[in-house]
Structure 1
Amino acid sequence: MLSARQTLIREELEVGTGAAIGMAVDGSKTRTGLRIWFADLEERHGPVAELRPHGLKGYAVTLRFGAFAGEVVRLIAGAVPEDVHLARALIASIDNSVEIEIQGQDTADWKITSGDFRMTAIVRNLPRDPEIALTQVSRDTIVPMMAAMAELIGYDIIDEVDQGEPEYEGAELVSTVRRRERNPRNRLLCIRLHGEICVCCGVDPRATYGPAGSIIEVHHLEPLSLRKEPRPYDPAFDLVPLCPNCHRAVHTRRPEPWSLDELRELMADPMGKAAL
């Protein structure tokens, strides 16, 4: 069953983590499992998630590190607080019905300091349909676990740099904001916490466009370039989902975008009649 659905699992993971995924069927135990890792690191040099049936209607996911993962573990140990916060938030977003155990650590403030790190998630009472069950455990458990590792390692999607004149001083910071908005883990966590309905106009792209509706965008409520004082970045509170139209409309005012309340007022009174 697992071997026949590797494509499904790989697609979910690559979208959620922003990294290429490698995997192999593991028949070394009584119940066949699947090993999953980041393709560029190879199985021995990075984190590996082992997916295996558990009980009658469940799966166990065990995350550990390969035998030669010392360099990657050192890289993770030096991750900046912002990346650590997002990684922990991704794990915390897993449904409470999933039993998570982090060997020797509290699940709220875990950290990776050695290759002995191990995280286990037990998912029970899944739907009887094998494909639905595997899709659910992949999307809701394996994806956030591997996405947390991708964030700590530092996989990023880098936007092309605009070649035109900067619109104002600090254009380099604006580029950083755009890159963070494109971070697939930011988008993943924002959607897991807030859903895929635009918080401004209420449109649900999936309900409108069906399979083509995965177009919700992620918006920083307070652009990083405009912060007067540094403060911890929290995707759970600093990001909201917007449809492409509302997101573009918010950014038509520069350097400070329209607030969501201001945009709602404009939408309610587009001709400015209320001011007359």
Structure 2
Amino acid sequence: MLAAKQSFILREVEEGTGAAIGLEEDRSAMQTGLRLWFADLPRSHSPIVTLRPVGLNRFRATLTFGNFAADTIGQMNRADAEEVQLARALVASVAHSADVRFTADQSLETWRIHDGSFALSAEKRKIAGRFEEDALAVTCRELVIPILAAMAELYGYDPVEEQVTPAGEVEGELSISTIRRRERNPRNRLLALRIHGERCQVCGFNSECHYPGVSSIIEVHHIQPLSLLGEPRAYDPSTDLIPLCPNCHRAVHTKRPLPWSPDELRAMYHD
């Protein structure tokens, strides 16, 4: 039954990780699973997450590496401290709803990928209607996406910066802005919502409560814009990112160059 949902799962995982994903069936066990890896790498050179139904109401996601992934692992080991911190935070978020286990003596707080023997598994239990799309979407968000997103963070997919011309030039204002990777990385959204939930941190709006069946419209706000940082500093997703509804997000940026702080906006907000 899982094989029939390949297109749905692929779309969910690509949107959540911000990476192109390869996918194939895995029939090596009693229940058919799906293997997912980074499509710009041969499967044998990539981290691989295998999603498999277990028992009657469980899913297990297992991370392993292809037989020829030594160069990929070497690149991951060159990740800087910030990327390692974010990768660990993504994997730690899986433990909120699933049992996470590592090989050898690795721990949730200090794990590191030294070679191809590294593996972790995450098992989510008591999933009602586990093959229905709503349940599969939650399973992807809670198991597969955070694990692959952590690997993408270590591997370093996105360019550091990009030059863009904002829409303001239409009114005669020609200027160039630098958008850094963290400001558009879809993994930011994933991590912020895993840490803070999907409720606006200013007005309390929750799209799932107000618009049942509509995909989340909550947005993620960088409290201190990266473009205004004078010097690099440690990046803490638990304090640097907050979820805001579209109205509050737009309101917070009406003040320039520094946006209103969340506390300032809360003080102005009225039901």
One-letter code aligned to 2:122: A
Q: Which of 160, 165, 169 does residue 162 from structure 1 map onto?
A: 165
Alignment match, 1:205: 207
Matching of residue 114 in structure 1 with residue 124 in structure 2: no
Alignment match, 1:42: 42
Distance 1:124 1:205 in 2: 26
> Deviation at 1:242?
1.2
Superposition pairs of residues 2-41 of structure 1, within 5 angstroms: 2-41=2-41
Q: Which of 196, 205, 213 does residue 194 from structure 1 map onto?
A: 196
Q: Which stretch of the first structure deviates more once superposed, 245-254 or 146-155?
A: 245-254
Distance 2:139 2:89 in 1: 18
C-alpha spacing 1:210/1:156, structure 2 compared with 1 (3 Å): farther
Q: Contact 1:218 / 1:242 at 8 angstroms: preserved in 2?
A: yes
Superposition pairs of residues 209-220 of structure 1, within 5 angstroms: 209-220=211-222
> Deviation at 1:188?
0.3
Q: Contact 1:37 / 1:43 at 8 angstroms: preserved in 2?
A: yes
Query: 1:232-274 deviations in whole A, cap 9, x for unaligned?
Result: 21112211011222222222222221111222333349xxxxx
C-alpha spacing 1:148/1:258, structure 2 compared with 1 (3 Å): same
SS of the aligned residue for 1:130 comes to: coil
SS of the aligned residue for 1:109 comes to: coil
Alignment match, 2:169: none
Alignment match, 1:274: none
Q: Contact 1:181 / 1:187 at 8 angstroms: preserved in 2?
A: no
C-alpha spacing 1:97/1:218, structure 2 compared with 1 (3 Å): closer
Alignment match, 1:64: 64
Taking structure 1 as the reference length, the TM-score comes to 0.84
Distance 2:207 2:101 in 1: 36
- Max radius of gyration: which structure? 1
Distance 1:115 1:20 in 2: 22
Unaligned runs of 5+ in 2: 167-173
Alignment match, 1:147: 149
Distance 2:136 2:247 in 1: 34
C-alpha spacing 1:61/1:213, structure 2 compared with 1 (3 Å): closer
SS of the aligned residue for 2:59 comes to: strand
Query: 1:70-110 deviations in whole A, cap 9, x for unaligned?
Result: 22111111111111111100111114452211112112111
Equivalenced residues, count: 261
SS of the aligned residue for 1:114 comes to: coil
One-letter code aligned to 2:255: R
Unaligned runs of 5+ in 1: 270-276
Alignment match, 1:180: 182
How many percent identity over aligned positions?
Answer: 50
> Deviation at 1:185?
0.9
Q: Which of 217, 223, 226 does residue 224 from structure 1 map onto?
A: 226
One-letter code aligned to 1:118: A
Alignment match, 2:248: 246
Distance 1:118 1:86 in 2: 18
> Deviation at 1:29?
2.8
Distance 1:218 1:117 in 2: 32
Q: Contact 1:19 / 1:150 at 8 angstroms: preserved in 2?
A: yes
One-letter code aligned to 2:57: K
